[in-house]
Amino acid sequence: MEQKIQQLKNLLAEIADLNYISALLGWDQQTYMPSGGAEARGNQMALVGRLAHERGTSVELGNLLDELKPYAATLDPDSDEARLVKVTARDFDKASHVPSSHIVEFTQVTTLAQQAWMEARQNSDFTIFRPHLEKIVELRLEYASYFPDFTHPYDALLDDFEPGMKTADVKMIFEGLRPKLVELIKAIASKPQVDDSFLHQHFDQGKQWKFGEEVITKFGYDWKRGRQDKAAHPFTTEFSLNDVRITTRVDPDFLNPMLFGTMHECGHALYGQGVAPELERTGLERGASLGIHESQSRMWENLVGRSLPFWEYFYPRLLEVFPQFSAVPLKRFYKGINKVKPSFIRVEADEATYNLHIMLRLDMELALMEGKVSVKDLPSVWNAKMQEYLGITPPDDAMGVLQDIHWSGGMIGYFSTYSLGNLVSAQLWEKINQDIPDLDEHIRHGKFEILLGWLRQNVHRHGAKFEPQELMLKVTGSRIDPTAYIRYLKKKFGEIYGL
Amino acid sequence: MEQKIQQLKNLLAEIADLNYISALLGWDQQTYMPSGGAEARGNQMALVGRLAHERGTSVELGNLLDELKPYAATLDPDSDEARLVKVTARDFDKASHVPSSHIVEFTQVTTLAQQAWMEARQNSDFTIFRPHLEKIVELRLEYASYFPDFTHPYDALLDDFEPGMKTADVKMIFEGLRPKLVELIKAIASKPQVDDSFLHQHFDQGKQWKFGEEVITKFGYDWKRGRQDKAAHPFTTEFSLNDVRITTRVDPDFLNPMLFGTMHECGHALYGQGVAPELERTGLERGASLGIHESQSRMWENLVGRSLPFWEYFYPRLLEVFPQFSAVPLKRFYKGINKVKPSFIRVEADEATYNLHIMLRLDMELALMEGKVSVKDLPSVWNAKMQEYLGITPPDDAMGVLQDIHWSGGMIGYFSTYSLGNLVSAQLWEKINQDIPDLDEHIRHGKFEILLGWLRQNVHRHGAKFEPQELMLKVTGSRIDPTAYIRYLKKKFGEIYGL
């Protein structure tokens, strides 16, 4: 059986390599590729995607899995080998439900849709994007129809990003979260607003960049196994566990995009750099799910990067780099970076309002998949929901329904993972603080090894071995739930706003 | 038959896409990849190389070619379709001699070797690189052994870079060239040396970069279909005819590397950007050979970029950017950039001594392939040859045997093409000046359209349709020979040094 396992690993290594290559094609497209290269890049990505899909659904792989399943059942169910067979079988089964022709059409449709979305957003004209999104919704419904075993058509989509998670679970989690959030935001709104005007000044871009580098170097980002580049829409990607790259965006007149964006992407990258080397090229070298991945990025961005202990250490350094802060005491700075205010753009939202942006998207995705709303009505439904949830109405569709790239890439079912990531980050944080009672002291002294070590040991090294709920049970003793996040928000913003 | 041709093109498109992907993997490796990514990159390049090789030697392709050959014989032999069948058949035949396993091993070995070479050069320690090079020589001999029809083991290697060219041809060309070069260099050495100290000053790197961009923009480099990045060892590569990228190196204390390097790589890139779009993804979208490619880079670097008319236009602009040249009259600057002096580094060599660097490498490659010298002795043999050919001995191996990346990439058989490029550039230049008698006037006014137009019409658009000697016969009426280059050198340096 050792030989069969090796055969399996050989097949999986090739699929992993193709996925890594695909990631490089995407990274280059979003960082350096000149516009002329777009059409050819589409061909190249379609080819690599097809080759990976062919291999991921091959008869050879299927037969090998059938042979290995009984053997895997005899192993420790948490062993690498047992998990390898289990996860591969799950992915094979899922991929085998989908005909190649669907994959090809989906790639073609979304490639064109992304271009249309860019143009639509630029002109704030939803009608440019609308026919593409209609086709995408149709294709996503077709995709869902390949999985009659799922009870809700959205389940099949969600499961691709958050293995094992059901629509009903997410709805229940969000329903527990929403009223508490609304209540908190209301309470905050009744208090005097904090000042964050000092974040909106001119900041030298080179200095911003270097400060970001300094912070994530302290976090433990390994520059020999990664690098940072600029991208309009920052992301993290990997071409190996030893080549995990981040991208960031620098706004010359606003510190936050670089500062918190860099920490956010670094959080993703630390996960990638921390997966056990023996999982490399097996398909288990990915994270457990997008939600778990997001828990890491949000933890470093918010629970660490927007905390007072963090700034007790880093604020003197920031003052050296940007002396214009010398008139701003640490406490005022801390409050400023944690200002809560309903806003239009999800990626710029504060920790309290962020999840309402996600709930809005989940509502709309569910309505689309259930046929309760049609694409043409999305802009008005979006604006009405924004008013309902956040009390504001976008001035145009670029600031509204057109702000995010996801739907143009066919990624319906993805947004929920952002909120799950927030909840998971707080759940993990409570557990970490139980295990490391003096964590704040470490952070206050610019020491992050103990935190990173804990994450490596409990989360990172496992890669995709465990489904998100399994992992959370193992690590924290409970499934994903919103109470830790609510406790975290109430305590933090209670202090900041004097609630 | 139209349908068969279309089938052929579909197969070739996939091979071309794989080759483009491979080029991106290589570009990233040499520009941005962190050191940690090297091993994984080796796997990825090996995979893509194997997939391309499998497709380039497939039974399907072979059968299709057999069916198409009689049809192609009925066509105009210079038509795209006839050439497509001919060139594809040639490549298919050559690739079919090589087992896939060899390709995979070669890719893996050379990927690691490149990292080792970088480290070796950095530390000027040949022993780091030596075992890798030994393996590479072994693999190159194995490769040559797959082609028993070639009379010399070096023929099979040379033919990959310079289709149709034989070792004996190159030796004969070089033997005609060497005595004339030695004589010229001797004559120059007997004259007072020109001053080029003004080129060795501090030059702001950002300003250097911008000046280089300005020059090649004038040349006609299309930035929407390319970009420029930094690389330790500059090169040009393409991921589509619409994404042809150059790299350059900036030395803060010496103007030449950026200046002439940028023009050189731009020369390559203009070739790539000038291939007829209908040849895209057919395998004919490449250049005719490395020698022909090099003729383009050397033409823009030397025949244009080191000419007096060019600087009559650009010198005032250079003075604006670097006012420190204000004390240097144009003529002195012109002489300085054309200073002839034996030196250690090939890429920095002047036009007169450059080819001796190549002859040295050819001697050593032939000796390696003939088993007359072993890898461990290369540093000392190199140094002895440098003394023999150029009268100087490198102070260390970084300045000697470790200076070039080529061998670490397995590219034995490649260097000769640099000299062929020089010769071809002068041959083409004579023809161009016959066809455009007022070319100097155009250049003197910063107008390069007429030159680029001629090159596009006579050289670029044909891509790889013609073998180098065929192309030269078509364009100039004669095969590659060194006389035009010797005439060019004698005239130019005769004037500069008053011979």
Give the model's confidence band at A323: pLDDT under 50 very low, under 70 low, under 90 confident, else very high.
very high
Taking one residue from A and the other from B, the number of pairs with CB-CB distance under 8 angstroms is 109
Q: How far is A132 from chain B (nearest CA, A)?
A: 26
Residue-level pLDDT at A53 = 94
Marked catalytic residue, from A81, A265, A365, A467: A265
Which residue stretches of A146-277 are H helix?
153-161, 167-189, 205-219, 256-274
Q: Residue A287 above 90 pLDDT?
A: yes
Task: Read off the pLDDT of residues A177-205 as tens digits, 9 standing for 90 and up.
Answer: 999 999 999 999 999 999 999 999 999 99
Q: Residue A232 above 90 pLDDT?
A: no
Per-residue tens of pLDDT for chain B, all 499 residues: 889 999 999 999 999 999 999 999 999 999 999 999 998 998 999 999 999 999 999 999 999 999 999 999 999 999 999 999 999 999 999 999 999 899 889 988 998 898 899 999 999 999 999 999 999 999 999 999 999 999 899 999 999 999 999 999 999 999 999 999 999 999 999 999 999 999 999 999 999 999 999 999 999 999 999 999 999 889 999 999 999 999 999 999 999 999 999 999 999 999 999 999 999 999 999 999 999 999 999 999 999 999 999 999 999 999 999 999 999 999 999 999 999 999 999 988 999 999 999 999 999 999 999 999 999 999 999 999 999 999 999 999 999 999 999 999 999 999 999 999 999 999 999 999 999 999 999 999 999 999 999 999 999 999 999 999 999 999 999 999 999 999 999 999 999 999 9
List, in order, residues 6 or more apart from A172 with CB less than 8 Å away: none
Residue-level pLDDT at B392 = 95
For residue A256, which amino acid is it?
A: N
Q: Identify the contact set of chain B against chain A, taking CB-CB distances under 8 A.
A: 13-14, 17-18, 20-21, 24-25, 28, 32-37, 39-41, 43-44, 47-48, 51, 222-227, 229, 239-240, 242-243, 245, 281
Q: Residue A104 above 90 pLDDT?
A: no
Integer Cα distance of A320 and B24 in angstroms? 40
From A43, which residue of chain B is nearest by alpha-carbon distance?
B17
Q: Report the Cα–Cα distance between both ends of chain B, in Å, rounded.
A: 62
CB contact under 8 Å between B39 and A242, yes or no, is yes
Task: Kindly give the interhelix angle for A468-476 and A416-435, rounded to the nearest 10 degrees.
Answer: 20
Closest to B309 (Cα-Cα) out of B480, B436, B195, B428? B436
Integer Cα distance of A75 and B366 in angstroms? 57
Task: Kindly give the interhelix angle for B290-298 and B468-476, rounded to the nearest 10 degrees.
Answer: 50
Q: Strand runs (DSSP E) across B137-230, as ranges?
A: 228-230
pTM above 0.90, yes or no: yes
Give the model's confidence band at A313: pLDDT under 50 very low, under 70 low, under 90 confident, else very high.
very high
Q: Report the Cα–Cα distance between both ends of chain A, in Å, rounded.
A: 62
Question: What percentage of residues in chain B have a pLDDT greater than 70?
Answer: 100
Task: Read off the pLDDT of residues A3-56 as tens digits, 9 standing for 90 and up.
Answer: 999 999 999 999 999 999 999 999 999 999 999 998 899 899 999 999 999 999
Give the model's confidence band at A95: pLDDT under 50 very low, under 70 low, under 90 confident, else very high.
very high
Residue-level pLDDT at A111 = 84
Task: Read off the pLDDT of residues A244-253 as tens digits, 9 standing for 90 and up.
Answer: 999 999 999 9
- CA dihedral angle for residue A207, residue A209, residue A212, residue A217, rounded to 10 degrees: -100
- Residue, of A104 and A64, whose pLDDT is higher: A64
Residue-level pLDDT at A108 = 84
Bridge partners of B229, per DSSP, are B247
Strands, sheet with A236-238, edge to edge from the N-terminal-most edge strand: A228-230, A244-248, A236-238
Residue-level pLDDT at A304 = 98
Marked catalytic residue, from B81, B162, B265, B294: B265
For residue B451, which amino acid is it?
A: L
Residue A265 bears catalytic tag: yes
Integer Cα distance of B63 and A339 in angstroms? 69
- As given in the structure block, the two tokens for residue A402 are 């057109």
> Tokens 């739907």, residue?
A407
Of A20, A242, A281, the CB nearest to B36: A242
Q: How far is B64 from chain A (nearest CA, A)?
A: 22
List, in order, residues 6 or more apart from B99 with CB less than 8 Å away: B146
CB < 8 Å to A225, chain B? 34, 36-37
Residue-level pLDDT at B115 = 87
Bridge partners of A246, per DSSP, are A228, A236
CB < 8 Å to B226, chain A? 34, 36
From B32, which residue of chain A is nearest by alpha-carbon distance?
A227
CB contact under 8 Å between A43 and B281, yes or no, is yes
Q: How far is B367 from chain A (nearest CA, A)?
A: 38
Of A14, A41, A243, the CB nearest to B33: A243
